Every structure is written in structure tokens, then in C-alpha cells.
Structure 1
Amino acid sequence: MKTSSEHRFIGREPFEAALRAGECAPSVYGTRPWTISDTGGRISLRADPDRRLAAADPGSRELVISCGAALYNVRLALRAHGVRPRVALLPDPERPALLAEVRADGPAEPGVLERLLYGAVERRRTHRGTFLSDVGDVRLMRALSAAAAAEGAVLHLLTDDSAVRSLAGLVTAAEHLQRGERTRGEELARWVRPPGGPPGAGVRAEDFPPSEGAAETPFPGRDYGRGGVRGLLAPSGQATGTVAVLTTAEDGRPAHLAAGQALQRVLLTAAAGGVSAAFHTQPLEEPLLRAFLGERLCRGAHPQMVLRLGRTRPPERAQQDALQNALAGF
């Protein structure tokens, strides 16, 4: 394989790290709907149409958001290894599956926050249950909002109880509607892995709670088991967590890529502070509910993700100190 002189000068490690990091991104149903390759110092991110969710995501909005999260990890890994990334989004109209190309744009010393976020890439895990507590840290909340803004999105933190109850009602309504749809149930079942199964794409039984417990929460999660696989996730506590909606001003593929990058930057900032996130995309998969949510709770912006943020265990002092030092500018 022919490599560029720039690639030879930088070496293989940053690019290999970027490929590994990309695969650690969150994705809808755990589908990992992307292919990430490195050819001579050019990393290509492509959507994998074979992993599109035809019933839940016919327009591929969530697929592209998932790919955007992978793209952020690629960028971050390069920066953490001293390489400034140069990103071309949607570089070829003739190849719509090619979402981004990333090249090296010279050396760049990583900052403290970039190193901290990169260290959280493999630790971050999607949480699908209740929390021990909400975020409970004003500086971290400001940092989460700033992380979204840095990628061209807005993180709306819902502090009004009536807004939280309204959003919970939308999630509940959408979840119960979707549980009655046979095609969605069959599609979901294809991505659920039973206990002790081999590693790979999809959602493990260990990563979601039993369906009988999930029904008791204000924000019900998906019924991943659908009667076939019992969830094994033990409850962390009784807290709903801090509720937020991630939005963008526009709603095309560039906005969905931006939303995915913003989402992952928020998630890694949260993970660095010992905070996990749960996703609730059910109402966003119903066009009328999504439009209602955007108009009534998001000031007309386009909602791209509904999430709850919280702690599943008490914060560690060393972790908190490291994050506070990195967030000194917020």
C-alpha cells in the first residue's frame, strides 16, 4: 500500500488509535452502522446501509448521528496522539455513503481536556436504567452545554418539572405505540444478544433492565427483550437523572453529522466526570411527536436526541479533581 510522506512522518499509531476509537462510539440499537478505513493516512467513514433500521429509522437520521459519534472519536484520537485532523464532510455527492474523510493536518499538542476525553472513550457505556443521582455539578453541566455548542448543537437542560413530565409522557406514548408494531419488534429482536453470547454489535442482556422494572420509571426504556430475552441490568437507584434534549438549527445530513459529534463530545465530557447517559429516541422516531417536541420544548429547533444524565455510583475524588482542573476555563 502506498503511503504519503506525511503519513510516514507521523507514523501508524495515531491512525490505528483513531480506527479503534471510532468503533467505540455509541449507535442506535448498538448497530455500529459504519465502516471506518485508513488508506495511506486518509481515514474514510462510510455509512453501512445493511445496518439501517428500516422500521425505526427509515430516513437514516439516527444512522447518520451514530456515524457522527464515530467521527468525533476519530478526530479526538488523532488530537490525543498529537495530530491535527482535517475533516471533509460529505466530500463526494456521487458517493452518498461516504460521510467524511479525515487527513492529518500537521502536528498539534493535545490539551489537558482532549487527553481526558480520549481517556474516557473506552470507559463510556450507555446506561439503560435508573440512576443513583442526577449530575449534581454546576460546572460539569456548563461544560456539557459548551461541549454541544463547540460542535454546532445545543443541549437543552430541562429544569422545569412540567417540561420533564411532558417529555416523559411523549417517551411513554411512543414506547407503547411501538411495542405494538410487529415489524419494529422483529427488527429490535435482531439486535438483542442473549446472556453469554459472543461479542459484537447489538445490545447485550446485561445492558438493559428486566421489562417489568422498566415500566415503573417515568422514562421507560425500550423493551429490548420483547419476551424473548430477559434484561439483566441491576438498578443503580431510583433517580431519573438530569433530562436534556440535544438540538440543531437545521435538519439535513450535515446537521445529523454535527449532532452525532456533539452527542459524543457531551457523552465523553460526562463520562470523564463519572456521569452516564441513557437515550430515549422513541418520540423522535414518530414524525408528529418529534415536531411537537421541537416546537413546544425546544423553541422550534430540531430535536436529535433525548437523554438522561446521572451517576450510577458515588463520584471518585481523583476523577472529580482531574475534571475540575481540565474545566478550569468554564
Structure 2
Amino acid sequence: MDSPELVRCIETATLAPSLHNSQPWRFRLTGEEIEVYADHDRQLDVLDPDGRELLVSVGAAVFTLRLALRRAGRIPQLAVLPDPGRPDLVAVIRPGSAAQPSAAVLELADAIERRHTNRQPFLPKVVPADAIEELRAAAGHEGAALTIAGAASRTVIAGLGREAERRLRARDGYRAEMGRWTRPVAHRRDGVPSAAYGPWDALERLPMRDFGLVHAPRQRRSEVFEKWPTIAVLTTGADGPADWIRAGQALQRVLLVATRRHLATTPISQPVEIPGIREVLTDRRAGRFAQMVIRLGYGPPAPATPRRPIAEVLSDRAASHRAGNGGTP
């Protein structure tokens, strides 16, 4: 593959989801090798002090890059955490042998540009069983598991999410960190814009993050959300950096399959941002470590969030190690 085509694939990878749309990744192109780095300057210290969600976000970009290469007619070769001496180097991907992409690959790749986090109320409509099975298979394909909550566990998860939100708001620096990533700035290319905040759940059944908390408290509106949401928990078999990257790849595959099935999705991370609450969702004996909660359903179109230009994320040097206070766009 020539460099312009590889750059286009990298640009597609930047459409992956990330915590607060922080886009904590950097890419380096050496010949045909694409190095993917974690950009710790974009880590959210209050919500993600150990960098777990940062690596989940980078993992989502890794999967998106793999899929972009596959759409371009190459079978990607992936090495995760290939160099212990460079812990910020998350993955190295090479375009392998040529292979015509299948119709299924093209359909999934076409969903990349259409996938957006949807924070609106969903319709009171059941997600079909065959769609659920396809989502489970998508997670399994990436070495993770997706469990759909039953009526009782759904109520428990929603309650845990609300408690997590309450505890997060009480943390020192929470509002300041939220403010940094929702601050309205002209021509901003990261963070959560006001169009993507979404309303507040009038009945407070769902733990929806209130992105209007800092900059638009008077403009916040409330709406009634679905009474019986479809909630899924994404888990991995272990809980180290490689598993967090795996979780990100599985998360993005699940979200893209859902998008292809015309489902709206909302990753809900509050329950896994409080260690004690995350532990409740984790079953260590069964090897199920909770990595993300996902809300699924049918909703109105969601707006796209901005992306940093390729010149900011692609360079001929490795991402620098973190120095000082990061997380500020």
C-alpha cells in the first residue's frame, strides 16, 4: 500500500469512540508499518487515574484501523504491546496480504462514519434476539464477552450507575475536568460539543452523564427516557493493559455491528470508573472483568463529534512520555 492510502486508513481510525471524545491516540508511519501510541497527555486524571479507559479508547482506534485496512483490500497483521521498553506503544499494524473484502466487511466499515454516541431517549422497542446474538458474537470475535442484563440485573446496574455518578461528582477536580472537555471553543476539534450533551433523564432511571453540568446548567433540559432499556456489560477474561486494549477492540466491533443493524448505542462508563462498583459488575471466579456498560435501542439520529486533523495525530516520531498535568485539550 502507498503512503496516501495508509494515511486515509489512519484518518478513518480517528473516528473511534473515546472517553469525553479525548482522542488519546497518536500514530507513526514507518514504511508500511503503523505504530499506534497512547497519548497520556490526554488522559482524564479524575475519571481514569490508572489509564484503563484510555487504553480502551486506543483499542477502539486499533480495531477501526484494522477494519479500514481490510476495506482497502489488505489483511492486517497486528502486534499488541510489542515492546516492553515502550509501554506507550500500544500496537503495530502492518497491511498483510491482499484479499478482496467481503460484503460483510464493507457493510461494517461503512458503519464507521455513521457510528455516534446517542444520549437521547430511545423508543420503547425491543431489540430483536438475532441482533443480540450478533452483538454477542462480535464481542466474542475479539476475545471479550457481552452479557445482556435481565430485568433484575438491569435495575441493579442502573442503580449502580446512579451511585457511581453521585460519587464521581463528589471527587475533587471532577467539575474542572468535565469543564475542560466540554468548554465551548470556536473551531475546537475534540471534547463533547453542546449538540451532543443530550437531555437529563427526568425520572433519573438511567445514569446518563450530565455534560451540561458546567457550561450550560441553565440550558439543561430533562426528558423521559425509555422505561426498560436494553443494557449490556462488556467483559474480558483478565484485567491488564492487553485486556483493556482487547476490550476497546471488542467495544468498537459491537458498536459498529449495532450501527449496521440501525441500533443506537450509548457507552456508559460511570459504573466502571468507581473500583468498588466495578467490582460488583465483575465475576473474578468466572473470569469476567467488567470493562464497559452499553445501552442499546432505537433512537433519533445523533450528531457527530469533531475530530482532530490528521496532522495532529500522525507524526514521524513516537508519542512523548507524559510530563506534568495532562488531560487539557
TM range (shorter): 0.7 to 0.9
Question: C-alpha displacement at 1:242, in angstroms?
Answer: 1.3
Letter in 2 for 1:101: V
Q: For residue 194 of structure 2, what is the aligned residue in structure 1?
A: 205
Letter in 1 for 2:51: S
Q: For residue 117 of structure 1, what is the aligned residue in structure 2?
A: 108
Question: Map of 1:1-330 to 2, 5 A cutoff?
Answer: 10-134=1-125, 136-158=127-149, 160-194=150-184, 197-210=186-199, 213-214=200-201, 216-230=203-217, 238=226, 240-295=228-283, 299=286, 301-313=288-300
Task: Confirm or deny: 8 A CA contact 1:128 1:279 kept in the other structure.
Answer: no
Distance 1:114 1:234 in 2: 39
SS in 2 for 1:58: coil
Task: Confirm or deny: 8 A CA contact 2:143 2:236 kept in the other structure.
Answer: yes
Question: C-alpha displacement at 1:17, in angstroms?
Answer: 2.6
Unaligned runs of 5+ in 1: 1-9, 315-330
Distance 1:234 1:39 in 2: 49
SS in 1 for 2:282: helix
Distance 2:132 2:61 in 1: 23
Question: C-alpha displacement at 1:13, in angstroms?
Answer: 4.9
Question: C-alpha displacement at 1:235, in angstroms?
Answer: 5.8
SS in 2 for 1:290: helix
SS in 1 for 2:153: helix
Distance 2:183 2:261 in 1: 29
Pick closer, same or farther for the CA change 1:226–1:182 going to 2, 3 Å: farther
Pick closer, same or farther for the CA change 1:171–1:215 going to 2, 3 Å: farther
Task: Confirm or deny: 8 A CA contact 1:131 1:239 kept in the other structure.
Answer: no
Over the matched positions of the two proteins, sequence identity in percent amounts to 37
Q: For residue 316 of structure 2, what is the aligned residue in structure 1?
A: none
Q: For residue 318 of structure 2, what is the aligned residue in structure 1?
A: none
Unaligned runs of 5+ in 2: 302-329
Distance 2:272 2:133 in 1: 25
- Indicate the structure with greater helix content: 1
Q: Bigger shift: 17-26 or 36-45? A: 36-45
Pick closer, same or farther for the CA change 1:71–1:234 going to 2, 3 Å: farther
Q: TM-score, normalised by structure 1?
A: 0.85
Question: C-alpha displacement at 1:12, in angstroms?
Answer: 3.7
SS in 2 for 1:85: strand
Question: C-alpha displacement at 1:236, in angstroms?
Answer: 9.2
Question: C-alpha displacement at 1:215, in angstroms?
Answer: 5.0
Encode CA deviations 1:215-247: one digit per residue, 9 max, x unaligned: 523112112222422567896963553110000
Task: Confirm or deny: 8 A CA contact 2:19 2:57 kept in the other structure.
Answer: yes
Q: For residue 320 of structure 1, what is the aligned residue in structure 2?
A: none
Task: Confirm or deny: 8 A CA contact 1:36 1:45 kept in the other structure.
Answer: yes
Task: Confirm or deny: 8 A CA contact 1:179 1:223 kept in the other structure.
Answer: no
Encode CA deviations 1:54-108: one digit per residue, 9 max, x unaligned: 1111110000000000000000000011011111111111110000010121101
Letter in 2 for 1:172: R
RMSD over equivalenced CA pairs, Å: 2.2
Pick closer, same or farther for the CA change 1:233–1:259 going to 2, 3 Å: farther
Distance 2:226 2:234 in 1: 24
Distance 1:283 1:72 in 2: 24
